[in-house]
A and B are shown apart, each in its own frame.
Chain A
């Protein structure tokens, strides 16, 4: 149980393109999902917390107009990288939690490798 699916797994596109990444909880409902960015050989950096039916909470230094998050249902959150540039190239990972309790694990998707040419 507690499977999170992330799509696509890899995207290569030209500079200026907007890219949408989907994160789905397949067998549970998630009121909260999380979006992370991971640089090579580094740990995960939390970008934003996505709450179903409300605005996402962004971490300091993350541009909300650049990284648009929509959490329209209890099983789907999307991250749109708008007008992507080479510096946005990275590995993006989402996660979801069964409950909002801090002692519950997060379940992660397989990540999306974004490459901007």
Chain B
């Protein structure tokens, strides 16, 4: 069965410093992986996706993620945090064995300090 682990429930960084949000997954098949961001009382916005092409994926707003099959990881990074990056981030896995559905991680809340 699929599952997603986000190792940190809360990450706090200073503005201008790097961001690392960790995600590990389990999947029986070649998975597709996604990162979404959710601002308060809003829906989810797609940051980036991995679908078996390049392992380093670049997304919107300067975010990127690297798919590492040997480590079953898909960590999200950004070189320099901005105040507007403060939000909830969800790592999501999807594979053909589970039909069309997404499996969400528990989320990581990112705080950006001035």
CA distance A91 to B90 in the complex (A): 16
Instruction: Establish whether residues A102 and B107, one from each chain, have CB atoms under 8 Å apart when the complex forms.
Output: no
Q: What number of residue pairs across chains A and B have CB atoms under 8 A from each other?
A: 56
Please report A residues at the B interface, Cβ cutoff 8 Å.
4, 6, 32, 34, 42-44, 46, 49, 91, 93, 95, 97, 100-111, 113
Instruction: Establish whether residues B43 and A110, one from each chain, have CB atoms under 8 Å apart when the complex forms.
Output: yes
Instruction: Establish whether residues B101 and A46, one from each chain, have CB atoms under 8 Å apart when the complex forms.
Output: yes
Please report B residues at the A interface, Cβ cutoff 8 Å.
32, 34, 36, 41-46, 49, 51-52, 90, 94-96, 98-102, 104-107
Instruction: Establish whether residues A43 and B46, one from each chain, have CB atoms under 8 Å apart when the complex forms.
Output: no
CA distance A107 to B41 in the complex (A): 16
Majority DSSP secondary structure for residues of A touching B: strand
Task: Name 9 A/B residue pairs within 8 A (Cβ), A-sorted.
Answer: A43-B106, A44-B44, A44-B90, A46-B101, A49-B100, A49-B101, A102-B32, A104-B32, A108-B43
Known A-B contacts A102-B96, A103-B51; the reply to A44 vs B104 at CB < 8 A is yes
